[in-house]
């Protein structure tokens, strides 16, 4: 007796996105922890998942990877365009630490925040609102960099006016030889940024879906609302906006390199990101599972060892 055998006629029968193969999702989650690093045919040859023993190692290792991208492009004389998340966030403190230790400034870095809470028209929270991603980014990354920080005019946030300009700005930077790097977490609904699974229904083909650069005032999946209530709003669902402005696969799938992170362990054996991690690594590219495309790109995905499972009830 499980979800699959009891969902018919339940309140969850039509809750999940139409394109999700729940049996396949369950299969992805059935492997043993030691199998998580086994390479899959659809992975890019230069994609590597990195197991981290604990959250402290995770933050430091992911932060080092970010700082190394900044250092390397600086030494190469290249510009660097980052598509940036607010979640995970612990790595930014370490990125700033390493850059201060190396005395590497970010004058060559261009930041593009991947999303922002919005209303139906795409209006966003005030930049200094405690819940705004812009406020968070200033506080956790741009601020701690101090004199080494990214110039203000090179910081982009996902407002309804600015988000539609991302594509041209990034194209112009790449034409100058810039490297595009996407930093990301993976949502409970397998989103990257706020590119939700149900968006797939709006595109006839995978290629059409992959070309979409952004959405304004996008409707978020209930999984996403509850994920953020737990991780960012101290369980208070009523504070979480139901819409957001977000970049799309037409931007993040154009990355030259990716740096991903899964740190969704809650303590006492509880977690929210184990299924997200396994499905990302095993499902195979599918427009209904946005994160399934990330292993097709070169880069690294850092994850807490705990999230590898086994994903089964803990009776201890």
Tell me, what's the pLDDT at 110?
Answer: 98
Q: Which domains does the chain have, with CATH numbers?
A: 43-307 (3.40.50.1360)
What is the 8-class DSSP label of residue 105?
Answer: -
pLDDT of 311 above 70: yes
Q: Environment class of residue 271 by beta-carbon count within 10 Å: exposed (0-12), middle (13-18) or buried (19+)?
A: buried
Q: Can you give the pTM of this predicted structure?
A: 0.97
| 8 A C-beta contact, residue 209 and residue 284 | no
SS3 61: helix
Query: Percent of the chain beyond pLDDT 70?
Result: 99
**Confidence at 316, pLDDT banded by 50, 70, 90:** low
pLDDT of 229 above 70: yes
Name the CA radius of gyration of the chain, rounded: 19
Return d(Cα 294, Cα 77) in angstroms, integer. 27
pLDDT of 315 above 80: no
The tens digit of pLDDT for each residue in 255-302 reads 999 999 999 999 998 999 999 999 999 999 999 999 999 999 999 999
The reply to whether omega before 298 is within 30° of 0 (cis) is no
Residues whose CB falls within 8 Å of the CB of residue 261, separated by 6 or more in sequence, listed in order: 58, 62, 88, 91, 183, 184, 185, 301, 302, 303
Residues whose CB falls within 8 Å of the CB of residue 281, separated by 6 or more in sequence, listed in order: 28, 36, 40, 49, 295, 301
- Scan for tokens 């995978």, then name that residue: 206
Tell me, what's the pLDDT at 166?
Answer: 98
Q: Could you count the other beta carbons within 10 Å of the beta carbon of residue 313?
A: 7
Return d(Cα 13, Cα 281) in angstroms, integer. 26
The tens digit of pLDDT for each residue in 27-70 reads 999 999 999 999 999 999 999 999 999 999 999 999 999 999 99
pLDDT of 223 above 90: yes
pLDDT of 314 above 80: no
Q: Could you count the other beta carbons within 10 Å of the beta carbon of residue 146?
A: 11
Phi then psi for residue 306, to 5 deg, are -55, -30
Give me the chain's average pLDDT, please: 97
């Amino acid at each position: 007796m499980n979800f699959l055998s009891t969902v018919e006629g339940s309140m969850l029968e039509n809750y999940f996105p139409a394109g999700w193969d729940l049996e396949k999702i369950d299969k992805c989650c059935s492997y043993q922890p030691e199998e998580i690093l086994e390479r899959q045919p659809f992975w890019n040859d230069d994609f590597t998942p990195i197991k981290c023993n604990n959250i402290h190692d995770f933050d430091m290792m992911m932060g080092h990877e970010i700082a190394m991208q900044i250092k390397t492009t600086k030494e190469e004389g290249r510009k660097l365009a980052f598509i940036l998340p607010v979640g995970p966030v612990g790595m930014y403190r370490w990125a700033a630490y390493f850059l201060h230790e190396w005395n590497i400034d970010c004058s060559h870095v261009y930041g593009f925040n991947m999303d922002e809470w919005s209303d139906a028209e795409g209006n966003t929270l005030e930049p200094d609102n405690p819940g705004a991603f812009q406020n968070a980014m200033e506080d956790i990354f741009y601020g701690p960099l101090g004199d080494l920080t990214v110039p203000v005019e090179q910081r982009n946030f996902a407002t309804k006016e600015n988000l539609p300009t991302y594509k041209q700005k990034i194209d112009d930077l790449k034409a100058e030889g810039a490297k595009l790097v996407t930093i990301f977490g993976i949502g409970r609904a397998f989103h990257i940024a706020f590119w939700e699974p149900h968006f797939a229904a709006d595109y006839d083909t995978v290629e059409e879906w992959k070309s979409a650069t952004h959405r304004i005032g996008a409707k978020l999946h209930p999984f996403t609302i509850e994920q953020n209530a737990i991780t960012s709003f101290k369980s208070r669902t009523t504070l979480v906006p139901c819409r957001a402005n977000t970049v799309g696969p037409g931007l993040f799938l154009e990355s030259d390199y990716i740096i991903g992170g899964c740190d969704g362990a809650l303590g006492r054996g509880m977690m929210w990101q184990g299924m997200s991690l396994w499905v990302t690594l095993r499902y195979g590219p599918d427009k209904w599972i946005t994160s399934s495309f990330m292993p097709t790109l070169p880069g690294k995905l850092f994850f807490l060892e705990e999230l590898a499972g086994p994903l089964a009830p803990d009776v201890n």
